[in-house]
Structure formats: structure tokens, C-alpha cells
Amino acid sequence: MAKLVIQTIPAEVLRKIAQPVMSVDKNVAAFMEDLAETMYKGNGIGLAANQVGSLSRVIAVDTSPERDGTKALLMANPEILWSEPKEVFVYNEGCLSIPGHYADVKRPKRIRMAYTDQHGNRRELEAEDLLSTCIQHEIDHLNGALFIDHISKLKRDMILRKIEKERREGETEQ
């Protein structure tokens, strides 16, 4: 299996809306596996198709302590059916597409969601706390959104300025 290349901001693909997968065929199932493999290699707890330059609605998630692949959630066409309207969960989020930057993000504590697994079966899942946050973060990616969209403009601009500075410094080194 090929390890996919992770796109980082300001890559345009991160701001595009991914399209539904028509059916989970062999190719899509293989892509799901590749996405999970790339997530583990990057030490991430989730990864979305946009982040590897693909615009199909596929995400991989694993918030288990084992992280050995047995509990990977490979999801096509993930969809949030319900989210907790009152209680929030706050997590210091990061993203493989915004390496080295973190910020506290508030999201609904609990969700119920549906997705198609790598065998083509439609499934439903209830998630809370970190798993809920992670799934919401990955579905955001499919809609062209990033965790920095959920924080104050002040904090977002600070992160974006640092990234721009790092990018310029990287260019002069070459």
C-alpha cells in the first residue's frame, strides 16, 4: 500500500468540498486503507480525503489507545444525524494539515452519525468526547473547513501569521 502525501495549508484542496462516493468498490476500499495507513504514519487520530489531495467523501478515524489498526473506523459518506445541543466538549485540537499548531475548540459533546464502511454497509454510530470531536473535525475537512475556523479571529490570524513566517523562512533556506 502506498503512503499518501499529506497536504498542508495553504493547499487549495483543503478548502474544497468533497463529493459523495457512489459505491464503496475495491478502489474506494483500498483508498480507505491507504488513508488509515497514512493517518497512523503521521501519528494522527483522524484523516480526511482532502488532506491527501482527494475530493471523495472518505475519512479514517482511530482514537483508541491501541492504535494497532483493529479499531480503525474507515468511513465513506459520513453524515451527522444528531448532535448534542447543550453540552460541549473542549479539546486542544491539532491537524496534520496545520502541523505544530493547536487550539482549544468547543464542539457538541455527543453525536449520532451514519457512514458506509469499507464493505459497503451503511452503519450508525454514537460517539462522545474525543471520538465525537474527531469525527466532527474530519467531516469538517470534507466540507472545506478547518479547526482554525472554530476559534477567534485573533487566534486564527496568529496561527496563520506564524505559518506564513515559517513558509517564508523555509523558502530562503532552499
Is 138 a residue of the active site?
A: yes
60 contacts Ni ion (rule: CB under 5 A): no
| Count of residues making up the chain | 174
User: Which residues, other chains included, contact 113 with Cβ-Cβ below 8 Å and sequence gap of 6+?
Assistant: 78, 79, 80, 81, 124, 125, 126, 127, 135
Half-sphere exposure of 152 (CA within 13 A, CB side): 3
Closer by beta carbon to Ni ion, 95 or else 111: 95
Pick from 45, 95, 103, 127 the residue near Ni ion by CB under 5 A.
95
Q: How far is the CB of 137 from Ni ion (least distance, A)?
A: 5
For residues 112 and 110, give the distance between their C-alpha atoms in angstroms, rounded to a whole number: 7
Count residues binding Ni ion (CB under 5 A): 1
**59 contributes a contact to Ni ion by CB under 5 A:** no
| Of 28 and 141, CB closest to Ni ion | 141
Q: Which of 70, 144, 140 has its CA nearest to residue 105? A: 140
148 binds Ni ion (CB under 5 A): no
* Residue tagged active-site, from 87, 93, 124, 138: 138
Which residues lie near Ni ion (CB under 5 A)?
Answer: 95
